[in-house]
Structure 1
């Protein structure tokens, strides 16, 4: 799944991805991630970069969980501040 929030001008403001990684034995993990243009260093990057960063984060988290390496990356630690401000997660928490 994915959800993209755009500005009035059509630029990607933030992207949310949810991915599922599955091992050959059938074990699977679902993980999600967000990337926002308001993160440090992301204000001038392309729309594609915002979307692909969110997808890469979600994919990496799912794989890390499957192989038992669930450590949070340094990039994600700074990004976690943005999660609390995310439109998508606020909507999820309200239901």
Structure 2
């Protein structure tokens, strides 16, 4: 997967989710009180949890990583990750995702 922007994390949120270890899943559950796979949480909480994991990977303790991410605005947490490039839709070149492509026959 290619990304269109460079961020602090260097990966997308989807890539972060796919890279989580069991230990990181437990750390999220302990720090934020939810399981990332159940869907019973908000996108805001999930984004903060992923920044928390990234900060832990950079060497912060659980407590310092949680404090750091809770001090960030939601915009800062969203901008922390790369945005995925939209996939081109050659069958619909009028859409933003199909822009600059030729319709298939």
* TM-score normalised by L of structure 2: 0.25
* TM-score normalised by L of structure 1: 0.27
Task: Pick 1 or 2: higher relative contact order, CA cutoff 8 A, min separation 6.
Answer: 2
* Higher helix fraction (1 or 2): 2
